[in-house]
Amino acid sequence: MIQLADDLDRDQPTRDEVIYERVFDAILEQRLAPGTRLSEDKLGQVFGVSRTIIRKVLQRLEHEGVVEIHRNRGASVANTTAEQARQVLVARQAIERAIVLSACEHIQVEDLQRLQLLIQAEQAAIQAQDRGRALRLSGELHLQLAEACGNEFLANFARMMVSRCSLIIAQYETHAHPLCSTDEHAAILKAIAEKDSELAVGLMHEHIQHIEAKLVLSEPSANQDLAAIFAED
Amino acid sequence: MIQLADDLDRDQPTRDEVIYERVFDAILEQRLAPGTRLSEDKLGQVFGVSRTIIRKVLQRLEHEGVVEIHRNRGASVANTTAEQARQVLVARQAIERAIVLSACEHIQVEDLQRLQLLIQAEQAAIQAQDRGRALRLSGELHLQLAEACGNEFLANFARMMVSRCSLIIAQYETHAHPLCSTDEHAAILKAIAEKDSELAVGLMHEHIQHIEAKLVLSEPSANQDLAAIFAED
DNA sequence: TTTTTAAAAATTGTATACAAAATTATAAAA
DNA sequence: TTTTATAATTTTGTATACAATTTTTAAAAA
């Protein structure tokens, strides 16, 4: 009997992996808004599995930071505070810097070509005014850049940061802003291709700063003074 | 009725949290060597709980990177390859840099005092030739520095990096080396206290490099040529 | 002996039953 | 009406039973 599996688990995805992806996507695409309760029973019925599998999925999502679990009170889509959002962006700056430095050393030509195609797809989404798709592709670009630099730990951190940032953008970005320009992505990629690490790091830093600048990082109104809000009545 | 719990889960630790800590400690203190199988049934019997709780603990440990789970084949203590070890150290450099920068901005006087006490405890462990305790305290120092800079995401990454590095040191450090000097820790803390971020970052970078220098990052003999090993027979 | 095949045992994967806790609804007292 | 207390409902936490898979063992064939 030939042992195909060997050491890798490269079989078809398991049910919990599929469900994880679907819930993850729903959260990042804002079909599940921050704060939404995620009942084990209901999710189990939706996906036709028992609570056992749902609990596994929710625990993983909690670890990735997109879901909050409170003891005996169940799970809900993470509701990031403004202070947490600032912290996430500091952490993301650190991770993206490391990724750019590593990419300048290790990126392959095929990776660069693949990333170029992603930028084109992002551009197309922007021209089609498809904000959701553009945001998703932007995240995918950062993620694939992380994976291309061949450091599974940096890539893992990048995944956590990108998903968390998507949630934050969903929660704090005012819709008055125009869609992200792909020029910045292209410039970063060009600098990496030319192995100009200093330039690439600087461009990436500015890029993340631009993302931050579009956010309105004040605490949501729930914590504000109710008396002041209803003063006009 | 007064609602004490409010929004925080600051009750006593749950059973799975206690078990998580105990297994985590056992791995970091090398009482469970890399590669050791972690049977759900046996662990459940050891701690007097059902497999349900053990599975939850193992999944969390997998997320933190100290345990590997292979589908239908169960969990074992993570066996880091030399290449992975190099990647971890690159990622850790990035995280520690961000922590030092953040600490220079946000650290409080009380935090500095607490960290000083930890350095003294580490020094005592070194003089007592208690290598395990010294290693543990060194990790704790890095962790508490991360927590003191008030960024929960950086602190979370730091926890993952410190635990993973402990595993790597257990696996790859030759015992010929003298125990870590606490001078480096003290110097870093001094630079942070004086808010000299450039110096602090540089010292931290060197510190991690020194840790790396003590490792023998060649692939373990299992992957080597058996014929060559037994050539003398 | 070595390899192949088949059966047995052990281990993990999942659903479910029941316990524990929290939430909601209802009724009694202020 | 508002508050408090109690009961009913819902939801999560855990153990367990059974299914699916892997590993081990034993036997048969090369």
Same domain? A200 vs A113 = yes
> Given an 8 Å threshold on Cβ–Cβ distance, is B154 in contact with A91?
yes
Same domain? B101 vs B133 = yes
Nearest residue of A to residue B7 by CA position? Answer: A70
The 3-state DSSP composition of chain A as helix, strand, coil percent (nearest 5) reads 65, 5, 30
The domain that holds B22 is classified in CATH as 1.10.10.10
C-alpha angle B34/B163/B215, rounded to 5°? 65
B67 within some domain:
yes
User: What number of C-beta contacts closer than 8 Å exist between A and B?
Assistant: 70
The domain that holds A132 is classified in CATH as 1.20.120.530
Residue A175 DSSP one-character state: T
**Contact residues on chain A for B50, CB-CB shorter than 8 A:** none
Whole-angstrom CA distances from A81 to A60, A93, B115 are 21, 18, 29
Burial class (CB in 10 A: 0-12, 13-18, 19+), A77: buried
pLDDT band at B11 (very low <50, low <70, confident <90, very high): low
Same domain? B49 vs B68 = yes
Measured between its terminal Cα atoms, the distance across chain A in Å is: 79
How many structural domains is chain A composed of? 2
pLDDT exceeds 50 at position B224: no
What is the rounded CA–CA span in Å between residue B198 and residue B100?
9
pLDDT exceeds 70 at position A176: no
Same domain? B71 vs B89 = no
B220 within some domain:
no
B205 within some domain:
yes
Per-residue model confidence as pLDDT tens digits over B21-55: 999 989 887 889 899 999 999 999 999 999 999 99
A2 within some domain:
no
What is the rounded CA–CA span in Å between residue B75 and residue B62?
8
- Three-class SS state of A41: helix
- Three-class SS state of A12: coil
Same domain? A148 vs A206 = yes
Same domain? B115 vs B177 = yes
C-alpha angle B172/B63/B149, rounded to 5°? 85
What is the rounded CA–CA span in Å between residue B38 and residue B222?
21
**Residue A63 forms contact with B (CB below 8 Å):** yes
**Residue B9 forms contact with A (CB below 8 Å):** yes
Whole-angstrom CA distances from B152 to A83, B102, B163 are 10, 12, 17
What is the rounded CA–CA span in Å between residue B29 and residue B32?
8
Q: What is the mean pLDDT of residues B110-126?
A: 95
Per-residue model confidence as pLDDT tens digits over A207-227: 999 999 988 877 654 433 434
Residue labelled with tokens 């694939």:
A144
Range(s) of the domain holding residue A196: 82-213
Q: A130: which 2 tokens? A: 């498809």
A173 within some domain:
yes
Q: What is the mean pLDDT of residues A50-77?
A: 96
